[in-house]
Chains A and B, each alone.
Chain A
Amino acid sequence: MLKFTKITLSALALITASLGAANAAVTVLGWPGGSEETALRAVAEAYNAQSGVADADKVELLFYSRDGFYDKLQADMAAGSSAFDINLLATYSIGRYASYMEPVDLGPDAAKVFGESVLKTMQFDGKQYGVPTDLSLHFMYYRKDLIDALLADPAAKTKYAEISEKYFGKPLEPKAPDSWTWDDWAATALYFAKSVNPESPVRYGTVLQMKNLLFNIMVWQSVARANGGDWMDASGNITIDSPAYRTALELYKKLYDAGASPKDSLSYEYAETNAAFGSGQVATALQWNAAAGELTDPAKSPAVAENVGIVAPPAGSAGRADHIHGLGLGINKNAKNKPGAAKFLQWLATEDAALLYARSGGSPALLPDVAAKIAKERPDLVTLGQYAGAYGYVMTGATSANAFPVYELQAKEFTGYWSGQETLDEALANTKAGMEKLLKP
């Protein structure tokens, strides 16, 4: 009996000691399974290898699966979990998690690496809640071979003018993609749709991701923003029922109804859009920057890779706009090692760490002079930084605690309109009423 007691006590002591050791480290809950995980692993290894980092502050990584990631994170944080010291956060969910997190001081040099507009993607109520590790925005992908042929063919230009007159009431001339307005893009999409122009060399002029999903609203809303749209005005009034939103919603419906986008577009999201564009049967696609690697890789997209052109989203009456949101890392309010977590985040916001993160596959938005240092290895990051700086925007209210439900509401109502289940007036009225409830101070 005595022997059994001794063994039990020894085992308990060993478990307690090992738990203590685990608690001393800084546990980081990261975004799993993509380039973000690879990059995070690389910077964590580099950080731990530094001589000045105490054993108690070394970084350990923790990953959930992607499916339902934010639901699980939310449940854990609401339950006061201390299983991780640093957690992932995103621009559109920062308001929801801010009450479970600690603001962090990244130091004065962070602005010299990322720039103020990018740091803002991790701010809530004027406080910095995280390091912006990866930035997402949208590119307009197009087929260079198709557009070049259109621009060089007088007969095609005549057909293009006929189509644009029929759908927009004015004859338009084909333009180079970097000077497209949304109407130019839409006319191009209609020209390349077999249902509109049976002579088109491809089946569809574009592929619209219109599934009832909040991320698809982020893709679409740059049309509204480019025409001056916003969620609310400076006084906090909901301004969703505006000419800009009406124009943007009607444009997508016009293209979908005309057959310029695949019939099942109402069930399309990121993966379906890549598959459609990569098939070689689609002329243009407004898609996340993350797709650039896949669509320009001859091994992954053999039908189009050699002919993919990338420009910023087209311009509207208020100029060009590109939705940006960031993924980042911030400190859990219930962290067991807050000083260690802060040290790691401050290091992560330095230029050396940001460049290492970028070289390892991450997509940080860096200021032009910083991005220039890795221009050869990551030319896409130069474009990312340029577009984010020049056209990046976050809708007013889109970092609030209820930003997520607002996007969900818009996704439901706007897909209801696009699918013909609601009128435009009904969809906008329902959205406005819901947003007033969700965003009331």
Chain B
Amino acid sequence: MVDLDHKGWRVFASPLVGFLLLFLGFPILIDLVYSLSRVSFTNLRSPEIVGFGNYGEVLGDAQFWRASWFSLRFGVITAVLECVLGLGLAVFLSPLIEKRSWLMAPLMLPLMVAPAMIGLMYRLVLHEFVGPVPYYLYLWFGDSPSFLNAENAFWTLVVVETLQWTPFALLLFYTAYRTIPNDVREASAIDGASARQILTAIELPLMRPTLIFTFFIRFIDGFRVFDNVYTLTGSGPGGSTTSLPIYIYEAFFKQGAIGKAIAASVILFLASFVGLYALTWLSRRGKGAAS
């Protein structure tokens, strides 16, 4: 092991720092300038600095808060559903998958499809005249609900997202579940623990890091949802299915309000940073209390 002095660290770290400054620092700097400017596609190279007006416009825009609420609600609900379903499937299918490991391949198939394609696929699947779902509903019940109107679109999108990403949670939970030594389960069974007690008192606590990790990954993915929502409902009637990324995209490209779009993305970045920092702090505090 070679000890590096201060100068050595500088030499070895400089390519990385240079790379970060070039590919992250420069765009961030430009973004900050644009977020403080009145800028459109016609004056990209000569933005007019206007101060914090764009931030004020974003924070005063009801659609921004509506989009934030949509993203937050969508992220939490889909993450919870995917984790609950993924955990249930991992526990119940574990004996079967252990014997027939090839079953994992078809279960993972939804992950192989691009989210934008999933959105397009459900445009067909749910279409009243060509989709199989409305067809069978009409055949069996004589009617089919509106899946994509303003009242139901949110829950349809939640189901679509959950169906695609539950296998991801299943994969991680199954892997964590199988790493728990059988000795532990056998010992607790000998001590008289029921299957439910083994699950709640032994297995779930041992899987806790994976549960938390998976929840956060899925929450982040759900929060920043764009592709499948955009291809399935767009921003929705009256903007009812506008997630934050869709809000930013539409402000940037559709409205040409570049300063406003970048101000919204800076606010999102800061909010995410504060949120993640708070969660990390809470997690450390929890660990400290536990030890």
Contacts and interface: CB of A to CB of B under 8 A. Distances in A.
A96 B41 contact: yes
Contacts of B41: 74-75, 77-78, 96
B148 A266 contact: yes
A372 B120 CA distance: 41
Contact of A264 (B128, B234, B236, B256): B128
B275 interface: no
Interface stretch (B195-203, B217-225, B237-245): B237-245
Contacts of A79: 44
B254 A404 contact: yes
B250 interface: yes
B259 to A, nearest CB: 14
Contacts of A262: 128-129
A355 B12 CA distance: 67
- Which one of B232, B250, B255 has the highest number of Cβ atoms from chain A below 10 Å of its Cβ? B255
A317 interface: no
Contact of B237 (A74, A99, A421): A421
Contact of B42 (A213, A276, A401, A418): A401
B253 A74 contact: yes
Contacts of B233: 211, 267
A416 B129 contact: no
Contacts of B189: none
Given A408-B250, A421-B240, A263 B256 contact: no
Interface string A287-322: 000000000000000000000000000000000000
Contacts of B42: 78, 99, 401
A24 interface: no
Given A212-B237, A263-B145, A405-B256, A419 B123 contact: no
Contacts of A91: none
B153 interface: yes
Contacts of B239: 212, 412, 416
Interface string A251-276: 00000000000111011000010011
B149 interface: yes
Contact of A272 (B44, B127, B250): B127
Size class of A's contact patch? 35 or more
Contact of A263 (B44, B128, B253): B128
Nearest to A99: B42
Contacts of B250: 408
A87 interface: no
Contacts of A75: 41
Contact of B128 (A99, A276, A422): A276
Interface residues of B, number: 32
B146 interface: yes
Given A212-B235, A412-B238, A267 B148 contact: yes
Interface string B138-153: 0000001111111001
A437 B236 CA distance: 23
Given A74-B41, A402-B256, A404-B254, A266 B237 contact: yes
A405 B234 contact: no
A272 B234 contact: no
A212 B146 contact: no
A18 B150 CA distance: 55
B129 A415 contact: no
A74 B44 CA distance: 12
A415 B148 contact: no
A146 to B, nearest CB: 17
A422 B150 CA distance: 12
A61 B130 CA distance: 36
A426 to B, nearest CB: 10
Contacts, number: 97
B238 A421 contact: yes
Interface in B120-168: 123, 126-130, 144-150, 153
Interface in A48-91: 68, 71, 74-75, 77-79
Max chain A C-beta neighbours (<10 A), residue from B126, B153, B238: B238
Most buried by A among B41, B128, B254: B128
A258 B255 CA distance: 34
B238 A419 contact: yes
A243 interface: no
A332 B229 CA distance: 34
Nearest to A279: B129
Nearest to A70: B253
Contacts of A276: 128-129
B147 A264 contact: yes
A339 interface: no
A163 B237 CA distance: 29
A20 interface: no
A416 B150 CA distance: 9
A149 B239 CA distance: 41
A205 to B, nearest CB: 15
Nearest to A71: B253
A263 B240 contact: no
A27 interface: no
Nearest to B146: A263
A399 interface: no
A210 interface: yes
Nearest to B41: A78
Contact of A420 (B150, B236, B254): B150
A200 to B, nearest CB: 15
A36 interface: no
Interface string B236-274: 111110000000001001111100000000000000000
Contacts of A74: 41, 253
Contacts of B128: 262-264, 276
A16 to B, nearest CB: 28
Contact of A422 (B44, B153, B238): B238
13 contacts: A68-B253, A77-B41, A264-B147, A266-B146, A266-B149, A267-B123, A275-B127, A276-B129, A408-B254, A408-B255, A419-B238, A421-B240, A422-B238
Given A210-B237, A267-B153, A421-B237, 13 more contacts: A212-B234, A213-B234, A264-B126, A264-B149, A266-B146, A267-B148, A267-B233, A275-B129, A405-B257, A415-B237, A415-B238, A416-B238, A419-B150
The 8 closest A-B pairs by CB, nearest first: A416-B238, A263-B146, A419-B237, A267-B148, A279-B129, A419-B150, A415-B237, A421-B238
